[in-house]
């Protein structure tokens, strides 16, 4: 089969869905792999690296004419027009917000949305794009915040006086949040963290962070436990939200750096920090809102901008943070894609979709002219 890797055309997307390592495996399995010229340049992967392992360097038309197309971002309406009928596409589709799902179905495209992976399955771990990309995003978020912060993270003892360590608050302790805690601690900061899942407390403390505890009712504990088993957050009751707001207000208003990571699939990001809390922070403090693409966790964050409030607080609203580390995020993403693609191909290299397979069934969003997502 011909497998195509087109260049990403969405602004700010620097990643690529394949690397020479994954292409080499596909070529060895007997597939023809075509890579659009320049597709990997922003990820430090020149065309020569792909041709050296057997890929053909082609134009966009040839890449989109493939039987299987591997991408980072879902094809746009412009790209859909270039894809041949009946092709298979593997990418991150953002299916809850993607307005083009009907167009994929209309063109008889078989589409797999990688972010729908059942994360509780152990055999799915090497296909988990959310984890691989969030891990890097958590690290980079701290580095970006540190770059905007005008003081050092660690404590310094100098003849001119003592420099206090930065106080960092992490809101949301998933993969990105845990990596942010670890990175901030390595840089010498004092770190506090909070999450809707009480099971995250042990993880926070194991990394040297302080847990910001919010009292929970027995019912809320049970709901949180179920959510933890699924790998996602839960929707708390009004009392918990009120109690959390008090604790968050106190911790954030005293923080030097705040990083928010809270996302809920299919919904706008929960608003965790109000403008009145930001107004209490010290001049020079920094907030990085990792959920800015889905509405933001922070009141006042603006997509694609770094804004400064009247009281001198910087709010970073830069989206798609994994793209800031294109070389490494591409390598991990490409491995995730290859591992999933391998489940679709039999020993003869032919595609065989098995809807009895939990992973394939969960990821499939369009097939045979039908829009499946939301109807399972």
Among this protein's residues, is 85 annotated catalytic?
Answer: no
Please pick, among 73, 110, 131, 367, the residue that the annotation labels catalytic.
131
Please pick, among 47, 119, 243, 254, the residue that the annotation labels catalytic.
119
Among this protein's residues, is 2 annotated catalytic?
Answer: no
User: Angle at which helices 175-186 and 129-148 pack, to 10 degrees?
Assistant: 40
181: its two tokens: 């805690």
Backbone φ, ψ for residue 21 (5° rounding): -65, -45
Please pick, among 21, 44, 59, 125, the residue that the annotation labels catalytic.
125
Among this protein's residues, is 324 annotated catalytic?
Answer: no
Please pick, among 232, 243, 249, 360, the residue that the annotation labels catalytic.
232
Among this protein's residues, is 96 annotated catalytic?
Answer: no
| Other beta carbons within 10 Å of 120 | 10
200: its two tokens: 């995250």
Cα–Cα distance for residue pair 288/273, rounded to 1 Å: 11
Among this protein's residues, is 128 annotated catalytic?
Answer: yes
Strand partners, 112: 90, 364
Residue in the structure block whose two tokens are 């608003």 = 271
Please pick, among 110, 128, 167, 333, the residue that the annotation labels catalytic.
128
Please enumerate, as own/partner, the contacts of 159-168 that have beta carbons within 8 Å and a separation of 24 or more: 165/189, 165/190, 166/190, 166/256, 166/257, 167/192, 167/254, 167/255, 167/256, 167/257, 168/142, 168/192, 168/255, 168/256, 168/257, 168/258, 168/259
List residues with catalytic annotation: 119, 125, 128, 131, 232
């Amino acid at each position: 089969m011909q497998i195509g890797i087109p260049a990403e055309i969405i602004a700010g997307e620097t990643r690529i869905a394949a690397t020479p390592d994954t292409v080499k495996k596909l070529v060895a399995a007997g597939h023809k792999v075509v890579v659009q010229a320049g597709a990997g340049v922003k990820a430090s992967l020149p065309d020569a690296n792909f041709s050296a392992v057997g890929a053909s360097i082609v134009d966009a038309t040839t890449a989109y004419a493939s039987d299987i197309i591997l991408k980072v971002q879902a094809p746009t309406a412009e790209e859909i027009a270039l894809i041949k009928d009946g092709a298979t596409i593997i990418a991150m589709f953002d299916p809850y917000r993607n307005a083009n799902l009907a167009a994929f179905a209309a063109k008889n495209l078989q589409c797999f949305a990688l972010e729908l992976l059942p994360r509780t399955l152990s055999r799915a771990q090497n296909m988990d794009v959310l984890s691989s990309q969030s891990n890097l995003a958590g690290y980079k978020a701290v580095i970006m915040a540190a770059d905007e912060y005008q003081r050092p993270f660690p404590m310094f003892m100098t003849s001119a006086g003592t420099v206090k360590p930065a106080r960092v608050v992490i809101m949301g302790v998933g993969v990105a949040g845990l990596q942010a805690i670890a990175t901030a601690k390595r840089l010498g900061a004092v770190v506090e963290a909070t999450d809707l899942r009480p099971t995250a407390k042990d993880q926070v403390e194991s990394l040297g962070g302080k847990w910001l505890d919010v009292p929970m009712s027995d019912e809320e504990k049970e709901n949180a436990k179920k959510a933890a088993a699924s790998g996602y957050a839960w929707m708390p009751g009004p009392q918990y939200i009120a109690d959390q707001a008090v604790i968050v207000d106190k911790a954030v208003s005293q923080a030097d750096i705040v990083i928010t990571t809270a996302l809920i699939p299919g919904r706008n990001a929960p608003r965790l920090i109000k403008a009145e809390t930001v107004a209490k922070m010290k001049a020079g403090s920094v907030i990085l809102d990792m959920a800015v693409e889905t509405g933001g966790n922070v009141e006042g964050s603006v997509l694609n901008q770094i804004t400064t409030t009247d009281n001198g607080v910087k709010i970073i609203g830069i989206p798609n943070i994994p793209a800031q580390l294109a070389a490494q995020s591409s390598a991990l993403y490409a491995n995730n894609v290859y591992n999933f693609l391998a489940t679709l191909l039999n020993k003869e290299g032919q595609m065989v979709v098995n809807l009895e397979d939990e992973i394939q069934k969960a990821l499939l969003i369009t097939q045979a002219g039908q829009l499946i997502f939301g109807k399972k």
